[in-house]
């Protein structure tokens, strides 16, 4: 049986997902998925692949968090202070 990280890589190779979709597919918490993503990033880099991140966006003003280095969802928008943030999506390419 593949490990959780291998399962995450398999899912992200097929199509893009956000943390919630991954947690539901693997039946683990969103917090646990977020902690695995850093390791997944390192694992795929050693395989000459890349974890592509589609950045989070603000649902109120449309601000895109394109320069964000962390893989987790931001808590609020720096532009309008809204907390309605669409989660970033991930894909292995």
Rg (CA), the chain: 14
Place of tokens 């292995």: 92
* pLDDT(1) > 90: no
Per-residue pLDDT of 54-85, as tens digits, reads: 999 999 999 999 998 888 899 999 999 999 99
As for how many domains the chain has, the answer is: 1
Structural domain boundaries enclosing 75: 4-92
* pLDDT(40) > 90: yes
Predicted pLDDT at 22? 96
Contacts of 72 by beta carbon, 8 Å cutoff, 6+ apart: 19, 34
């Amino acid at each position: 049986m593949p490990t959780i990280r291998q399962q995450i890589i398999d899912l992200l190779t097929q199509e893009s997902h956000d943390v919630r979709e991954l947690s539901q597919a693997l039946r683990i918490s969103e917090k646990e998925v977020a902690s695995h993503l850093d390791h997944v990033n390192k694992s795929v880099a050693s395989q000459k692949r890349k974890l592509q991140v589609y950045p989070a966006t603000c649902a109120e003003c449309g601000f895109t968090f394109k320069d964000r280095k962390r893989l987790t969802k931001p808590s609020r928008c720096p532009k309008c202070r809204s907390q309605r943030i669409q989660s970033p999506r991930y894909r292995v390419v």
